[in-house]
Structure 1
Amino acid sequence: MQKQILEHGLGINRRKFLSKLSLGLGSVALGSLLIPDLFGAKSDEEMLLAGLPQFAPKAKRIIYLFQNGAPSQLDLFDYKPKLIDMFGQDLPASIRMGQRLTGMTADQKKFPLAGTAFKFNQYGEAKAWISELLPYTSKVVDDLCFIKSMHTEAINHDPALTFFQTGAQVGNRPSMGSWLSYGLGSENKNLPAFCVLLSKGKGNGQGVYSKLWSNGFLDSIHQGVQFSSGDNPVLYLNNPEGINKSDRRKMLDKLEELNAQTFQESGDPEINAKVQQYEMAYRMQTAVPEITDLSKEPEDIVKLYGPDCLIPGTYAANCLLARKLSENGVRFVQLYHQGWDSHGSLPTEIKGQCMDTDQSSAALITDLKQRGLLDETLVIWGGEFGRTNYCQGKLEKTNYGRDHHPRCFTIWMAGGGVKPGVYGETDEFGYNITQNPVHVNDFHATVLHLMGIDHEKLTFKHLGRRYRLTDVAGQVVKGIIA
């Protein structure tokens, strides 16, 4: 009787019900194949990341041209005629206001003002001041957003550099690239989401260390992959002698079986991360050699970046490689160029640094733009802090040094939803910010916003609390967003 009532009420009999059920199970099986994690239990972090990006991103990828050692904004972007007029006079105490000094100038009795030795002119619709040291940058000025009011608390290189890269002045925090890898992943399964390129100029260099592209407490799959200038751009990627691709595939399959057994016993997520790294390395064997081969670039591209772009390990070559990596779906490409730490003989050293970087930095903007990629690629140029308006050591009009100055400095950004122009201002001495200050936390919040991420929601639980790139601070700088 119950069977008859059921069949009558639903309009189906037992045979039809089982037939429909089989179709449903087939759909579930297909869904699990197409989306492997669809029916698996998800952690809080996985549930959070399922919603990223949280709103329409203005940028898909980032290329960060980090000028390690702190370029002098007063000799490149922040033109202050008053410093030239007052050359050699002591910095007024009312301007310095007892600001913290480094150990290198704390014992100085006086702080003689050092106006720049270089000529400046205004360029573009925004009439941005650009030094004669940057003739190529001056040609792309209408694509750039100059933030002249950056500031930080860190006054020494290592904590300041670490702060810009990780959002904290101490180590063991994930870098910005690792956060983006964790949040958004890569657009190309054959390449990592986060790549690192190093170069060094002739100026006084500050070291860079792997902690700057560390995954910190995130899974190791999110660590930056460093490319070298040797015959093997990524170390240990090639097969050992006597091992072919088929042998490597068999080895990885067996290794995955062993790791799966170990994971069942221990539950350590790092085991799965290692398996993913092995598989990524296997896929990179084909993708990396093709991308890193710059010899096939057309003549007009070589001319655009300059002849050094064909010399592996140079800044120019890394800028070109960054374009290729980004074009192929790498989410975050980080360049470090050392040599900007000019405590003495700054006019000589900065000339060399600009010769190394000016043409290829501008070329990257032009190249991305002509390929239709600039609108979706955020390019960032800048160092860890600025340089003082007063001289460190011996003062001459064509030979002076500048100490560290975290109170105000200039970076520029381009593409990726950034509004071209000049944002922020400093006083007539180039010492204090007078308009629109931008802190490092604000910078990070804005970069994540441009990538479609609310910086307060991209978090990871570690040691009982939730961490984020901006820690407990940061406001999106809406004035630079197009």
Structure 2
Amino acid sequence: MPSSINSDNLNQRLTSRRWFLQECGIGVGAIALGQLLEQKALAADALAPKQPHFPGRAKNVIQLFMGGGPSHLELFDYKPALAKFDGQLPPADLIKDYRAAFISPNSKLLGPKFQFSKHGECGAELSELLPNMAEVVDEIAIVKSMVTDAFNHAPAQIIMSTGSQQFGKPSLGAWTTYGLGSESRDLPAFVVLSSGNKGPSGGNANWGSGFLPTVYQGVSFRSTGDPVLYLSNPAGVDQQLQRDSLDVITQLNEKRQQQVGDPEIATRINSFEMAYRMQSSAPELMDMSSEPQHILDMYGAEPGVPSFAMNCLLARRMIERGVRFVELFHESWDQHGGLVKGLKQNCIDTEQASAALVKDLKQRGLLDETLVIWGGEFGRTPMVQGSTDGRDHHPNAFSMWLAGGGVKGGVTLGASDDFGFNVIEDRVHVHDLHRTILHLLGFDGNQLTFSYQGLDQRLVGVEPTRIVKELLA
């Protein structure tokens, strides 16, 4: 025993320790229990509506993700020079050090395959493939100067969705629900619907929560039948048995949570409760009997038949029911060949419904607070791939459009060069787009952060970005 500690001091220390353990044990337990209850409450309240940094114009988002890379040169960005020099080699200085996914430097220029004309009071030029969009062109803002950092599908989709080419980062939808919560108690805050010939190349990472709590990730719905598999009870299981079973599972999860203190268990409890409530709310969402025939016709939707049109109509119904973020994937736009036939079919499948969504939101008074975003992960090359009828991936210049939610309608922003190869005016990087979207939702993109691995992580990355003020109403 060290000489500096006498018996009186030792008795005092032992008494203090004994008193602390005996008298404060309940207090320590109460503190631990309080932390566990707080974790559970946080999971339950994580999706409660929250206030942004400042009043935002947009309260909801519908993202129409055209997976595969739509050709801006056949849809929004008319280039007479391409028609003039069709079949000729591009200027050497234009393609110097250019890296493409598949084509060679000897690929020749390919002229536009469709006619363009001006529409609306704004006089925006649109392809003949977009007759319905021509009717709402004064409601949308077309950005013809988008650029991205990736030229292959998966990394390009991931950067468009998460701001990074690396997997494991939160998606735009997850950041939105993290920042704003949800106004729906009976449906997920972030819902994903898919159409086209396959799922997105980037997979579930396009709507993942990354390092954010999993309560913020997107939930995949089907457009017909049960929106989520196994949502309906099996034969012989009634509502009371379902409730009793869920209560027992919740008790077991709470016991496990008390043992390990994992907040993800609280998220699991919240998910089970959401699924239980969805057994009533989801069938009502999917029931189209309340939709007038003229609305179904406007979208081109047929109840019971999966389609992009049905997904657009479901997106509007979800927004009406308080869902914060709805993402629609249509993965069919990768025309390395069969450009004319493929684009025609893509537009038949999606163009009418995209325009109808804008019209429908406006006539219901929802467009002012709902931001609609249309676009893919990149554009297509001015050079031909194959013999006569295909275009390769192209990140240097492509087009997107936005509507509602504080966006100025009738605007055409930016320009590419005479061949649609490089942006020459009002460059908008994907990070600039994300920062602008967050601004419309009421957030400073540099301040919407989440601490992870010792860093304040954010959607817009660390490089300087800008709010594209030209798009703001």
Structure-1-length-normalised TM-score: 0.86
Cα distance change, pair 287–412 in 1 and its aligned pair in 2 (3 A): same
**Match runs of 1:49-64 below 5 Å:** 52-64=51-63
**Equivalent runs, 1:345-424 vs 2, <5 Å:** 345-395=338-388, 400-420=389-409, 421-424=411-414
Where 1:301 maps in the other structure, the secondary structure is helix
Contact 1:123 1:129 in 2 (8 A): yes
Matched, 1:143 2:139: yes
**Aligned partners of 1:230 and 1:299: how far apart in 2?**
18
The residue identity in structure 2 corresponding to 1:222 is Y
Distance in 1 separating the partners of 2:266 and 2:137: 46
- Secondary structure (helix, strand or coil) at the match of 1:304 reads helix
Residue 159 (structure 1) aligns with: 155
Q: Retained in 2: the 8 A contact 1:378–1:413?
A: yes
Structure 1 residues without counterparts, runs of 5 or longer? 1-35
Question: 1: CA distance between counterparts of 2:166 and 2:421?
Answer: 27
Counterpart CA distance in 2 for 1:267 and 1:125 is 60
**How is 1:12-411 mapped onto 2 (pairs within 5 angstroms)?**
52-102=51-101, 104-105=102-103, 108-201=104-197, 207=201, 209-306=203-300, 308-395=301-388, 400-411=389-400
> Which of 423, 429, 433 matches 1:439?
429
Aligned 8 A contact 2:379 2:395 in 1: yes
C-alpha distance in 1 between matches for 2:108 and 2:304: 41
Q: Distance in 2 between matches of 1:225 and 1:351?
A: 31
Deviations 1:329-383 (A, max 9, x none): 1100000001100001101110000011111100000000000100000001100
Q: Tell me the distance in 2 between the aligned counterparts of 1:70 and 1:383.
A: 5
Contact 2:83/2:111 (8 A) holds in 1? yes
**SS of residue matched to 2:249:** helix
Counterpart CA distance in 2 for 1:459 and 1:86 is 48
- Mean CA deviation greater in 211-220 or 359-368: 211-220
Gaps of 5+ in 2: 1-33
Shift of 1:254: 2.5
1:73-130 CA-partner distances (Å, limit 9, x unpaired): 000000011110111111101222322222x11xx35231111121100112221110
Cα distance per residue 1:182-232 (max 9 Å; x no partner): 12111111111100000015xx98645222211212222112111114522
Q: 1:69 & 1:388 partners in 2: Cα distance?
A: 13
Give the % identical residues.
Answer: 47
User: Residue by residue, what CA displacement relative to the aligned partner does 1:420-449 show, whole Å, maximum 9, x if unpaired?
Assistant: 210111111111111110001111111111
Change (3 A) 1:199 1:269: same
| Contact map agreement 1:205 1:341 (CA 8 A) in 2 | no
Q: Which residue of 1 aligns with 2:445?
A: 455
One-letter amino acid matched to 1:477 = V
Q: Which residue is equivalent to 1:475?
A: 466
Question: What SS does the corresponding residue of 2:371 show, helix, strand or coil?
Answer: strand
Instruction: Report if the CA contact (8 A) 2:155-2:202 is conserved.
Output: no
Alpha-carbon deviation of 1:40? 6.1
Q: How many residues align?
A: 433
3-state secondary structure, aligned to 1:368: helix
CA separation of 1:50 and 1:414: change in aligned 2, threshold 3 A: closer
Distance 1:431 1:464 in 2: 40
Amino acid at match of 2:398: F
Q: What is the distance in 2 between the residues matched to 1:313 and 1:468?
A: 36
What is the CA–CA distance in structure 2 between the aligned matches of 1:117 and 1:423, rounded to whole Å? 23
Give the Cα separation in 1 of the matches to 2:290 and 2:284: 10
CA deviation after TM superposition for structure 1 residue 255, in Å: 2.3
Change (3 A) 1:50 1:231: closer
- Measured after TM superposition, the shift of residue 251 of structure 1 is 2.1
Deviations 1:242-271 (A, max 9, x none): 222122222222322222222222111001
Would you say the 8 A contact 1:62–1:377 is kept in 2?
yes
Cα deviations across residues 24-76 of structure 1 (Å, max 9, x unaligned)?
A: xxxxxxxxxxxx99x96999xx99x9973110110000000000000000000
Letter in 2 for 1:246: Q
* Distance (Å, rounded) in 2 between the aligned partners of 1:230 and 1:136: 25
Range that drifts further, 465-474 or 424-433:
465-474
Structure-1 separation of matches of 2:206 and 2:67: 12
Q: CA RMSD in A?
A: 2.2
Question: Secondary structure at 1:285's aligned position in 2?
Answer: helix
Question: Shift of residue 240 of structure 1?
Answer: 2.8
CA contact (8 A) 1:68 1:384 kept: yes
